[in-house]
A and B are shown apart, each in its own frame.
Chain A
Amino acid sequence: MTFIIENSLVLFCITFGVMQLTSLIMKRQEANFCTNDGTVRAFSIFDLEFAANAKEIVNLISGIFNLPPAKQHTSVKALKSQLYIDFLFMPAAYGSIFLLCIKTSDKLTTHAGKTVFLVLAWMQVLAWLCDIIENIYLLTKISPKPKGSGPFAFALYQLNEWFKWGISLTGAVCGISAMLYFWLTGSYSKDSLLYLIIVIAEILVIGIAGKMLSKKAKQ
């Protein structure tokens, strides 16, 4: 079974670039995440994604509204906009992994290998769906008095997280490992080097921009 996408490498460069850019924006927004759940402290989106229990999410979000008005406004705005921008990040990120797996599947010669990577590629759609559910769940919670979820709903939320991260990380790690194997054994075409350079350039440009922005923010 084969699934061929025309100009998949060009598409990959685009999706990878968009993923990096949105990731940079979200990282900048995350610097403004602050809560007061007993003590004023910074938090990250992972604290919400991997909360120990439903109460922790409620405490973190309600804590934002315990901050002084100016800080509260900044923190709420940063959290909401990060979740909205995440909707742009999702197609780029899962799309990149999808393309990576499709390309790997295409290059493999064994039937089993082709099938595994094809399945991994299409499972990214499921991960994307999980991410959408997560974001909607969190967006509905953002209020001064968020309603806590019951144990069953929270268990589903956790399961959703594990699916999302499990699928996407498996796809990314397997895809990159296979590409590394192709690279070391010389199983690649000379034309694809250009795309590799573009990807490296994207990483460098966004990395430098991120460093400069954080340096400016510190000043």
Chain B
Amino acid sequence: MPKSLEITDFTNHPAVKKCMDDLKKQFPGTPGKELIVSDVLDGHGNQYVNLVQKGGGVLGIALVGYTYILEEMGIRFLRLAGTSAGAINTALMTVIGDDKTVPKSREILKDICALNFFDLVDGNAAAKWLIRTFITHKNFSRQAKNLVSIIFGLLAFFVVADIVFLGLQHTYPILTIATKISFILTGFYLMLLAALAFYISTLVKRLKESGFGINPGDFFYDWIKKRLCENHVVTVADLNKKALATPDLHLRTPHPHGTSDLKGDVTFITSELVSQNKIEFPKMCNLFRTDINLLQPAGFIRASMSIPIFFESYYINDIPCEDDQIKKAWCDTFGEDNPPSKARFVDGGILSNFPINIFYNKDVVTPRLPSFGINLDDSTPESKTNDAAQWSLLSYIGRMFNTIRFYYDKDFFIKNRVFSKGVGTIPLAKYNWLNFFLTDKDKIDMFVLGAQAATDFLGKFKWEEFKAHRKIMHEQLEAKETAK
């Protein structure tokens, strides 16, 4: 029986150990050489930051490597946000443990070790086969083309054989038997093709009936619900309570606002297709129920990770759209007078895969704590340099889609460049974000890449510089406002 993964396989990996050694050497904790990333501290000396985690399918394992290093270096998280895979990690970081002072990444690793990622692909056998073949075979499209060529080639062969034998039997009557055999074989082949066509049409029909989602996503829903329940989060109120819980904080340097207004929260981003809006859960729960505890918190994370087509959409049915409270909520939030009676959610990544903008507060002059972001970069060098005129139709459509879906977040970074100073990028070009058939080695390697990216980031991050830039940004905004 193969050895199952253990937490130490990740944390005791030589590369991870080296990261920790390097950081401890760089920041031994002596005055002038300590790691300073924030002015907000707790009684244990932990420093607090806000954290946003990007979505990226299975690449989310790398996020854990990143947060593990941050936590080991005494960094804790006050406000958390994430999309898709980032939402899963965000949810676990929110609910695990009783307060924010304890590190969470080891516990998340425990869950990862116990999870067989392929169980998340819970569609029918044909869908599983297709996904596995498509993901694991680099030349899948060529293989598919070859298969189609063989199918039509065989059909052509049988038809030609029928014609040849039918013509020849007039001159050579002995070939009559061959003609009959040829026609019988053609009939059988056509029958096989008809059966195949019928099976494909059944799959397409099933896909349509399931809202164009290959995998129901039920396994994931049950899995995340169990994790939440294990950590005493059953209702939305429980989730909010956990997210809000804030330890006693104090400031490294005096600040006019003190620490009384510093409170934790959590945000999961998802895209709602009926009203065509970006939804932030649990903040926007009041749009769907008058009693928010009637919603299931696990659903928020399920909604955030509903990769279109790959997973079925997540629905919230029977929204009391005639209720005045609901109507008011929709009107106040989106300016819409007629709320939908049913909401259909897909992956938040189609709108905002890296929602750092939710931590933006224009009134902040000097920040007390920074907003950190973990970026997952799976783009290959070739994808940035290859000839735009030579793209295939699929690449062309993909580029258009990506331009649209990434620009919302990109626009925020362009306009608020200081936020990019808090972002560390994990290079993951050699991994496919939909490869749910990861080997244990792949999981460990991704964790290591996350740890290395965090080490690199902490080595370069300058808190005082961040604060100064944030202040300049505020002054520039104020100057613009005054000029208006």
> B163 at interface (Cβ–Cβ under 8 A)?
yes
> B170 at interface (Cβ–Cβ under 8 A)?
yes
Extra contacts, 14 of them, besides A183-B167, A184-B167 (Cβ < 8 A), are: A39-B389, A40-B389, A41-B389, A183-B163, A183-B166, A184-B163, A185-B170, A186-B167, A186-B169, A186-B170, A186-B171, A188-B167, A188-B170, A188-B171
| Nearest chain A residue, comparing its CB with the CB of B390 | A41
A177-212 to B contact mask, C-beta < 8 Å, 1/0: 000100111101010010000000000000000000
- Chain B contact surface mostly: helix
Q: How near does chain A come to B269, taking the closest CB pair, in angstroms?
A: 38
B interface, how many residues as a size bin? under 10
A-binding residues in B (CB < 8 A): 163, 166-167, 169-171, 389
CA distance A186 to B163 in the complex (A): 11
13 A–B contacts, CB within 8 A, in A order: A39-B389, A180-B163, A183-B163, A184-B163, A184-B166, A185-B170, A186-B167, A186-B169, A186-B170, A186-B171, A188-B170, A190-B171, A193-B171
CA distance A40 to B169 in the complex (A): 55
> Interface size (A, Cβ < 8 Å)?
11
Which chain A residues in 32-54 approach chain B with CB under 8 Å?
39-41
Q: How near does chain B come to A39, taking the closest CB pair, in angstroms?
A: 4
Report which residue of B163, B170, B389 has the largest number of chain A beta carbons within 10 angstroms of its beta carbon: B170
CA distance A183 to B163 in the complex (A): 8
CA distance A188 to B164 in the complex (A): 13
CA distance A4 to B163 in the complex (A): 28
Residues on B with C-beta less than 8 A from A41 are 389
Q: How near does chain A come to B399, taking the closest CB pair, in angstroms?
A: 16
Q: How near does chain B come to A84, taking the closest CB pair, in angstroms?
A: 30
Residues on B with C-beta less than 8 A from A185 are 170
Residues on B with C-beta less than 8 A from A186 are 167, 169-171
**7 closest Cβ pairs, A-B complex:** A186-B170, A183-B167, A39-B389, A190-B171, A184-B166, A184-B167, A41-B389
| Nearest chain A residue, comparing its CB with the CB of B168 | A193
Report which residue of A40, A180, A183 has the largest number of chain B beta carbons within 10 angstroms of its beta carbon: A183
Q: How near does chain B come to A203, taking the closest CB pair, in angstroms?
A: 12
Residues on B with C-beta less than 8 A from A188 are 167, 170-171
Q: How near does chain A come to B180, taking the closest CB pair, in angstroms?
A: 15
Residues on B with C-beta less than 8 A from A190 are 171
Q: How near does chain B come to A192, taking the closest CB pair, in angstroms?
A: 10
Which chain A residues in 159-188 approach chain B with CB under 8 Å?
180, 183-186, 188
CA distance A40 to B170 in the complex (A): 56
Residues on A with C-beta less than 8 A from B163 are 180, 183-184
Residues on A with C-beta less than 8 A from B389 are 39-41
Residues on A with C-beta less than 8 A from B171 are 186, 188, 190, 193
Residues on A with C-beta less than 8 A from B166 are 183-184
CA distance A56 to B181 in the complex (A): 54
Residues on A with C-beta less than 8 A from B169 are 186
Residues on B with C-beta less than 8 A from A193 are 171
Residues on A with C-beta less than 8 A from B170 are 185-186, 188
Q: How near does chain B come to A181, taking the closest CB pair, in angstroms?
A: 10
Q: How near does chain B come to A41, taking the closest CB pair, in angstroms?
A: 6
| Nearest chain A residue, comparing its CB with the CB of B389 | A39
CA distance A72 to B442 in the complex (A): 48
Q: How near does chain B come to A123, taking the closest CB pair, in angstroms?
A: 28
Q: How near does chain A come to B174, taking the closest CB pair, in angstroms?
A: 14
Residues on A with C-beta less than 8 A from B167 are 183-184, 186, 188
CA distance A39 to B387 in the complex (A): 10
CA distance A185 to B163 in the complex (A): 11
Residues on B with C-beta less than 8 A from A40 are 389
CA distance A39 to B389 in the complex (A): 7
CA distance A188 to B169 in the complex (A): 12
CA distance A41 to B391 in the complex (A): 12
| Nearest chain A residue, comparing its CB with the CB of B169 | A186
| Nearest chain B residue, comparing its CB with the CB of A190 | B171
Q: How near does chain B come to A164, taking the closest CB pair, in angstroms?
A: 29
CA distance A40 to B389 in the complex (A): 8
Q: How near does chain B come to A101, taking the closest CB pair, in angstroms?
A: 20
Q: How near does chain B come to A22, taking the closest CB pair, in angstroms?
A: 26
| Nearest chain A residue, comparing its CB with the CB of B164 | A183
Q: How near does chain A come to B385, taking the closest CB pair, in angstroms?
A: 16
| Nearest chain A residue, comparing its CB with the CB of B170 | A186
CA distance A185 to B169 in the complex (A): 10
Q: How near does chain A come to B2, taking the closest CB pair, in angstroms?
A: 42
Residues on B with C-beta less than 8 A from A183 are 163, 166-167
CA distance A183 to B169 in the complex (A): 10
Q: How near does chain B come to A156, taking the closest CB pair, in angstroms?
A: 33
Q: How near does chain B come to A134, taking the closest CB pair, in angstroms?
A: 29
Q: How near does chain B come to A138, taking the closest CB pair, in angstroms?
A: 25
CA distance A193 to B171 in the complex (A): 10
| Nearest chain B residue, comparing its CB with the CB of A183 | B167
